[in-house]
C-alpha cells in the first residue's frame, strides 16, 4: 500500500500536478507522509513539504528522522516564514530534541526565528543538562485545581486542552502550582458532574525531577505503565510532562549507544550517513588501538612459551581453538550480564549469585567443549587423519583440561567485569565483546601452556 502511495506522489511531482498532490496529502496519516518524504529526492522532499498545511506539516515533521528533518529545514531556508511557522508549531519537546542534535551555532540561529514565548520555552528546556528529563519535557498539559467540580474540569479541558500533549492524564495543582496528584481522564468522565476533583483524587502519583537522568525515566515508565509522567522541580512545582513516545525514542538511542560500545566503538553523535570520514575514524580508532595493544600481549605470551612450542609443535595446532573458545564464552557472559543490568534484572549486589551461577555454567560448558576436543583428537588419531605422536592421549587431556579452565575463566571474566565497571560508576557496556575476548586471549594462552607443561613434562616437554 505505502509503495503505491510513494509511486503516486512521484508521478504527481513529475507531472507538476501540485493541486492534486495537495488534495491527496490531506487523505494520508502524518506517518505515511513521512514515509513518502523519506523516499523522495531532497528537491522533491522540499516540494512536497511545502504543499502541506501548517498542522499536517508539524505532525509529519515529528515522524521524520533527524537527518531528514535537518534536510527539510535546510531546503526551506529560502522561505523564512515557512521555517519560522514550522518551528513555532512544533511541540517544545520535539523541537528541543531536534535542536540538541544540531551544531550549536545552527541551533542558536534557528532559536532566533521563534516567537518570544516559544524562544523562552526553548531556551529554558535547552538549559537543563544534556541527558536530563528537563530536555524532554513539554509545558503543554492540562492542570486543574482540587476545588474544581468535574463539570468545571470538563469545561476547562474543552477550553484549554487543544494544545495539550496528551489528555489521557489531568494534573491537579494547588494555588502555588505544586503538584498534588494526577488523574486519568477516564476517572473524570465517569465521575458525577457535581463531585469535586479532590474527591476522585487519591494523592498517589509518580513524578520525575527535571534533573533526573533520562535512563531513570525509562525505568520509571516501565515500572508504572504510564502514558505520561509529570516533571517537577526540587520543591514539587509542576514544570511539565514527559510522554511515553519520548521515552521510546530515548530507549532506542540508549540501546544503539550500548550496542556500539559493546561492539568496540564509541557512539556516533549523528547518523552513519551524516558522520564525516575523519569523525568516523576518530570514533573507531581508540578502541582498535587499545585492542591492538592488548593483542600484543598475546604475542608476548606466545614468545614466553616458544621453548615449549619448539619441543611440541603439536601444541600450536590448538592455539586458535583454545583462545577462541575462551573469548566466545567471555563475550556470551558479558552480553547476558550487561543486558540484565540494563533491564534492572540484576544489580551490583547480585555479584555473588552471578559468580556462583557462572562458575557452574563455565564448568559445564567447559566440560562439553573439552569433551569434544578430546574426541576430536581421538578420532583423528585412530582414523589416520593426523598423527599426534606417541603421547597423543596426554595431548588430548591437556587440550580438554585447558578448555575447561579457559571457558570457566572466560565466563567469570565476562560476567564480573561489567559488574565491576558498574560498581565503579562506569557504563557496563564498556566491557565490550572485543575487550573481554582480548583479555581472555592473553590469559588463555598462559593457562593452556601451564596445563600442557603439567601433563606433558617428561614426555614431549
Q: How confident is the model at residue 226 (pLDDT cuts 50, 70, 90)?
A: confident
Q: How confident is the model at residue 6 (pLDDT cuts 50, 70, 90)?
A: confident
Contact 255, 263 (CB under 8 A): no
* Amino acid 363: pLDDT: 93
Question: DSSP label at 267?
Answer: P
* Amino acid 52: pLDDT: 79
* Amino acid 255: pLDDT: 67
Q: How many CB atoms lie within 10 A of CB 412?
A: 20
SS3 per-residue string spanning 16-36: CCHHHHHHHHCCCCHHHHHHH
Overall average pLDDT of the 130-147 stretch:
84
Residue-wise pLDDT for 172-220, tens only, equals: 888 888 898 888 888 888 888 888 888 888 878 888 888 888 777 887 8
Residue matched to cell numbers 544540531: 102
Q: Which of 63-72, 179-188, 232-241, 293-302 bottoms out in mean pLDDT, i.e. has the lowest?
A: 293-302
Rounded Cα distance between 213 and 339, Å, is 19
Question: DSSP label at 52?
Answer: S
Q: How many CB atoms lie within 10 A of CB 112?
A: 9
Averaged pLDDT of the chain: 79
pTM: 0.56
Q: How confident is the model at residue 157 (pLDDT cuts 50, 70, 90)?
A: confident
- Whole-Å CA distances, 301 to 256, 292, 293: 35, 14, 13
* Amino acid 422: pLDDT: 82
Q: How confident is the model at residue 1 (pLDDT cuts 50, 70, 90)?
A: low
Q: How confident is the model at residue 359 (pLDDT cuts 50, 70, 90)?
A: very high
Question: DSSP label at 203?
Answer: S
Rounded Cα distance between 262 and 242, Å, is 29
Q: Is residue 289 exposed (0-12), middle (13-18) or buried (19+ Cβ within 10 Å)?
A: exposed
Phi, psi of 412 (to 5 degrees): -65, -45
- Whole-Å CA distances, 160 to 117, 157, 203: 17, 5, 24
* Amino acid 166: pLDDT: 79
Rounded Cα distance between 165 and 70, Å, is 23
* Amino acid 265: pLDDT: 56
Q: Is residue 297 exposed (0-12), middle (13-18) or buried (19+ Cβ within 10 Å)?
A: middle
Q: How confident is the model at residue 452 (pLDDT cuts 50, 70, 90)?
A: confident
Overall average pLDDT of the 271-289 stretch:
64
Which is it for strands 143-144 and 228-232: parallel, antiparallel or unpaired? unpaired
* Amino acid 2: pLDDT: 63
Residue 448 has pLDDT above 80, yes or no: yes
Rounded Cα distance between 187 and 197, Å, is 10
Residue 406 has pLDDT above 80, yes or no: yes
Contact 372, 390 (CB under 8 A): no
Of the segments 71-80, 260-269, 383-392, which one has the largest average pLDDT value?
Answer: 383-392
Amino acid at each position: 500500500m505505502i509503495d503505491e502511495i510513494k509511486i503516486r506522489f512521484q508521478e504527481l511531482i513529475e507531472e507538476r500536478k501540485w493541486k492534486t498532490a495537495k488534495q491527496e496529502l490531506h487523505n494520508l496519516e502524518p506517518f505515511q507522509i513521512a514515509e513518502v518524504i523519506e523516499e523522495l529526492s531532497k528537491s522533491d522532499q522540499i516540494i512536497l513539504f511545502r504543499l502541506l498545511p501548517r498542522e499536517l506539516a508539524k505532525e509529519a515533521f515529528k515522524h521524520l528522522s533527524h537527518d531528514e528533518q535537518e534536510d527539510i529545514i535546510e531546503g526551506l531556508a529560502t522561505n523564512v516564514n515557512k521555517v519560522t511557522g514550522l518551528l513555532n508549531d512544533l511541540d517544545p519537546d520535539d523541537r528541543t530534541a531536534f535542536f540538541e542534535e544540531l551544531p550549536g551555532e545552527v541551533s542558536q540561529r534557528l532559536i532566533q526565528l521563534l516567537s518570544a514565548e516559544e524562544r523562552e520555552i526553548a531556551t529554558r528546556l535547552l538549559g537543563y543538562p544534556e541527558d536530563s528529563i528537563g530536555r524532554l519535557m513539554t509545558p503543554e498539559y492540562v492542570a486543574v485545581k482540587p476545588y474544581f467540580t468535574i463539570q468545571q474540569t470538563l469545561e476547562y479541558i474543552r477550553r484549554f486542552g487543544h494544545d495539550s500533549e496528551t489528555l489521557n492524564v489531568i494534573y491537579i495543582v494547588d494555588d502555588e502550582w505544586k503538584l498534588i496528584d494526577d488523574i486519568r481522564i477516564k476517572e473524570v468522565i465517569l465521575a458525577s458532574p457535581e463531585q469535586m476533583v479532590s474527591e476522585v483524587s487519591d494523592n498517589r502519583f509518580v513524578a520525575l525531577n527535571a534533573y533526573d537522568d533520562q535512563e531513570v525515566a525509562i525505568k520509571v515508565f516501565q515500572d508504572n505503565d504510564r502514558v505520561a509522567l509529570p516533571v517537577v522541580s526540587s520543591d514539587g512545582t509542576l514544570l511539565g510532562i514527559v510522554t511515553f513516545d519520548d521515552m521510546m525514542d530515548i530507549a532506542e538511542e540508549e540501546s544503539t549507544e550500548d550496542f556500539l560500545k559493546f561492539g568496540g566503538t564509541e557512539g556516533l553523535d549523528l547518523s552513519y550517513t551524516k558522520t564525516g570520514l575523519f569523525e568516523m575514524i576518530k570514533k573507531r580508532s581508540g578502541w582498535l588501538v587499545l585492542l591492538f595493544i592488548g593483542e600484543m600481549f598475546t604475542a608476548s605470551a606466545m614468545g614466553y612459551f616458544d621453548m615449549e612450542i619448539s619441543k611440541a609443535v603439536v601444541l600450536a595446532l590448538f592455539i586458535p581453538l583454545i583462545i577462541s573458545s575462551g573469548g566466545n564464552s567471555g563475550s556470551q557472559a558479558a552480553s547476558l550480564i550487561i543486558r540484565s543490568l540494563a533491564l534492572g534484572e540484576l544489580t551490583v549486589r547480585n555479584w555473588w549469585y552471578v559468580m556462583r551461577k557462572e562458575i557452574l555454567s563455565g564448568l559445564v560448558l567447559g566440560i562439553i567443549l573439552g569433551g569434544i576436543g578430546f574426541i576430536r583428537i581421538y578420532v583423528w588419531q585412530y582414523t589416520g587423519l593426523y598423527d599426534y605422536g606417541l603421547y597423543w592421549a596426554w595431548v588430548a587431556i591437556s587440550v580438554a583440561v585447558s578448555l575447561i579452565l579457559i571457558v570457566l575463566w572466560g565466563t567469570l571474566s565476562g560476567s564480573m567485569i561489567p559488574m565491576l565497571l558498574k560498581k565503579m560508576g562506569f557504563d557496563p557496556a564498556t566491557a565490550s565483546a572485543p575487550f573481554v575476548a582480548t583479555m581472555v586471549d592473553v590469559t588463555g594462552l598462559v593457562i593452556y601452556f601451564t596445563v600442557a607443561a603439567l601433563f606433558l613434562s617428561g614426555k614431549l616437554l
